[in-house]
Amino acid sequence: MSKEQIAIIHSDDSILVVDKPSGIPCTPDRYEKDEIPLPILLAEAWGKLYPVHRIDRDTSGITVLARTPEAHKILNAQFAEREVRKTYDALVRGFPEWTETAIDLPLRADGDREHRTVVDRSRGKDAITRFTVVEKLGPYALLRAEPETGRTHQIRAHLAAAGYPIVADPLYGDGKPILLSQLKRSWHGDSWEEKPLLARTALHARSIAFTHPVTAERLVFESPWPRDLTAVVNQLRKIFRR
């Protein structure tokens, strides 16, 4: 992925709001050390950037970076005080019985041999995520997630604990992609040549709202779905809405 493929949603002297494609880490990855993180990719054009929050490598969508240490400090304080509102869209396996729910389970990062975030009621940090069912799509469901806290892998870990792992999540689910041949019995292509409709964790950072660190204006930014998520949801709608 090149810097030319990264969409800039907003820029000023204090902040940079980016529509991050899946496959780019927000910060250096201790397990994938050869991958170039987002701030480094953008540094040539935008100078030194300070990540304000991070979304996972495979997650697409809204990411905010500060352009000054002062803006970084102010925005970090907003996150710490839970003044930032974030929403995510997730395609999960299974269909919840609830329409809306709040999962309140304490989480501990790097809690097992696979370095996953785990539910830990004694040593975990408080973690709350609100979920809304947006749409039922056969054996899948499209959910809206609003994390009130910002723990590592929070949405992924909460959904896995609830029994609704995110599609193609290699760490908290089965990691299996969605293939058209699995959905349509009439599909006649060669399975060995088939390209997945979606092969990465089906999680998208849809929107973010925060207060500008200098002007104090309340800002809201949104990110449209990328092609892979759009394609798979449209295909699921065609098949299961009949």
Which residues belong to the active site? 56
Amino acid found at 241: R
Structure tokens at 235: 């295909």
Cα separations in angstroms, 137 against 40, 108, 111, 134, 191: 38, 32, 33, 10, 23
**By three-state DSSP, how is residue 204 classified?**
strand
- 50 vs 37: CA distance, rounded Å: 11
Spatial CB neighbours of 87, under 8 Å, sequence gap ≥ 6:
144, 145, 146, 205, 206, 207, 208
CA geometry: angle 143, 146, 150, nearest 5 deg: 130
Phi, psi angles (nearest 5°) of residue 162: -80, -10
**By three-state DSSP, how is residue 97 classified?**
coil
Contact of 162 with 175, CB cutoff 8 Å: no
Structure tokens at 19: 């529509």
Contact of 171 with 156, CB cutoff 8 Å: yes
CA geometry: angle 159, 163, 169, nearest 5 deg: 55
